[in-house]
Amino acid sequence: MNPIQLLPAVEKFLSQPGRLFIGGTWQDAANGRRFAVENPATEQTLTEVAEGGERDVDAAVAAARAAFTGTWAQQSPAQRGLLLFRLAELLDQHREELAQLITLENGKPIANARGEAASAANIIRYFAGWPTKIEGSTLPVSPSSGAPMLNYTLREPVGVCALIVPWNFPLTMCVWKLGPVLATGCVAVLKPAEQTPLVAIRLVQLIEAAGFPAGVVNLLTGLGVHTGAPLAQHPDVDKIAFTGSTQVGRLIAQAATGNMKKVSLELGGKSPNIILPDADIVRAAKGAADGIFYNQGQVCTAGSRLYVHASVLDQVLEELQRHAAAHVLGPGLDPASSMGPLVSARQLGTVRGYLQRGQEEGAELICGGDRPAHLEQGHFIQPSVFLDRAERACVAREEIFGPVLTVMSWTEIDELVLRANDSPYGLAAGLWTRDLRSAHRVAAQLKAGSVWINCWNVVDPASPFGGYKQSGWGREMGKNVIDAYTETKSVFVDLA
């Protein structure tokens, strides 16, 4: 099939360099610098965008602070909800445009990008219902003085929030954070990943079109060291919300100590996926393959550790090889492609390094293992499967962030749970079984923020998402995230 044609709106967007959005104005970086955005399928430059620096960070934070104490503070909860509903409508109207931008800069197949764009509107629509439902409570206090007292609590917005998002789901991660920020009455300085700034720029254009007051959402594109670091350290930022690697998450946490910023972190994972012997093996193997190969394996919740009961190991391995071989690698704009490139040459080098080290450390390569021979350009890697009977190779222990699955066998369920939990991460886990008692028993013992039974990677804006251990602090989405962007104030009134 032929690649889809770019929409005229996308071609026009790419013809103009991307700019920063500060205080309601689109502008170049103060230092005049720009950086190139690459198409990972062709290794060609799509366009250039502004490279923000410290002066831009100062200006964006100041604009956010002014909006927080000014025009945005005057908006009622109902007005905030209406603006979010307008934004959701605009996201729906521009869904194909957003999807094409996602595929161009991230590489994922267009069908997946369309799903991401559709999901973004639903997430914003969910949070549009929250502003009128954020409430305090009255408490039956009994002070030692004996005086009659009325005690009630208020939920108030935290303030200026720095939102630093990754490249693997460049639109989804933006709205996961902007939704609760805007619902609670906070304001934002958004810093997208340097690899995927384009869809964030288009999103902020739609936020402007929806009628949000100037300064409520500010956008800084740039490199982590020049833009992200000064934003994380800024003394007038009240909260940081970061999604990315555990290594960078540690740096974010350290940067927050200057003024004791509130911090929420959604970090890495090495998630265990378990197949019990009574499972529907064909369905479980497909779920395991989808759990690691989706989005080229560039998913924090990727089911990269697969534990298979010894009695069905050979059957599962056969099914996994079949699913890997069925993938059609190619540019994401080609509807025939089921797997696109990795996001960058750097990421490709990382994954290839793990493939080599895994074999050197004794893991058996079952399939894949290198670049596809027919694709000379682009950052492509074959879907790969290892069998590691000793469970000691790096591919069984470390987050790879690529389409690389490591399979281990097991026989005793109690030992299996210990092995599954033996990781510094705890973002997600899953199991496949027909036995309801086993499903609930094992799910209760797995140390992970999300546990999927007979499914994988199911998320919903109403359900909390986050990790145990080094997979993060706090939760995204659901009621929990509203609490993360609000402060609780306790008020006492002497009624004597």
| Those residues with Cβ within 8 angstroms of residue 384's Cβ, 6 or more apart along the chain or in another chain | 324, 355, 365, 367, 368, 369, 403, 404, 405
pLDDT digits (tens, 9 = 90+) for 55-107: 999 999 999 999 999 999 999 999 999 999 999 999 999 999 999 999 999 99
Domains of the chain: 6-266+470-489 (3.40.605.10), 270-451 (3.40.309.10)
pLDDT digits (tens, 9 = 90+) for 375-433: 989 999 999 999 999 899 999 999 999 999 999 999 999 999 999 999 999 999 999 99
pLDDT digits (tens, 9 = 90+) for 178-226: 999 999 999 999 999 999 999 999 999 999 999 999 999 999 999 988 9
pLDDT digits (tens, 9 = 90+) for 115-160: 999 999 999 999 999 999 999 999 999 888 788 999 999 999 999 9
Q: How many other CB atoms are there within 10 angstroms of residue 291's CB atom?
A: 24
Residue 3 banded pLDDT, cuts 50, 70, 90: confident
| pLDDT at residue 496 tops 60 | yes
- For 345-358, what is the mean pLDDT? 97
Q: How many other CB atoms are there within 10 angstroms of residue 335's CB atom?
A: 14
Find the angle CA(195)-CA(196)-CA(197) to the nearest 5 degrees. Answer: 115
Element (H, E) at 428: strand 428-432
- For 298-327, what is the mean pLDDT? 97
pLDDT digits (tens, 9 = 90+) for 235-287: 999 999 999 999 999 999 999 988 899 999 999 999 999 999 999 999 999 99
- For 443-458, what is the mean pLDDT? 97
Sole residue written with tokens 């009628």: 211
Catalytic residue among 51, 116, 194, 266: 266
pTM score = 0.95
| pLDDT at residue 31 tops 90 | yes
Residue 1 banded pLDDT, cuts 50, 70, 90: low
Is 266 annotated as catalytic?
Answer: yes
Sole residue written with tokens 């706090």: 474
| pLDDT at residue 2 tops 90 | no
> Would you state the pLDDT for residue 188?
98
Smallest Cα–Cα separation from 405: which of 307, 275, 278, 318?
307
CA distance 182 to 44: 36
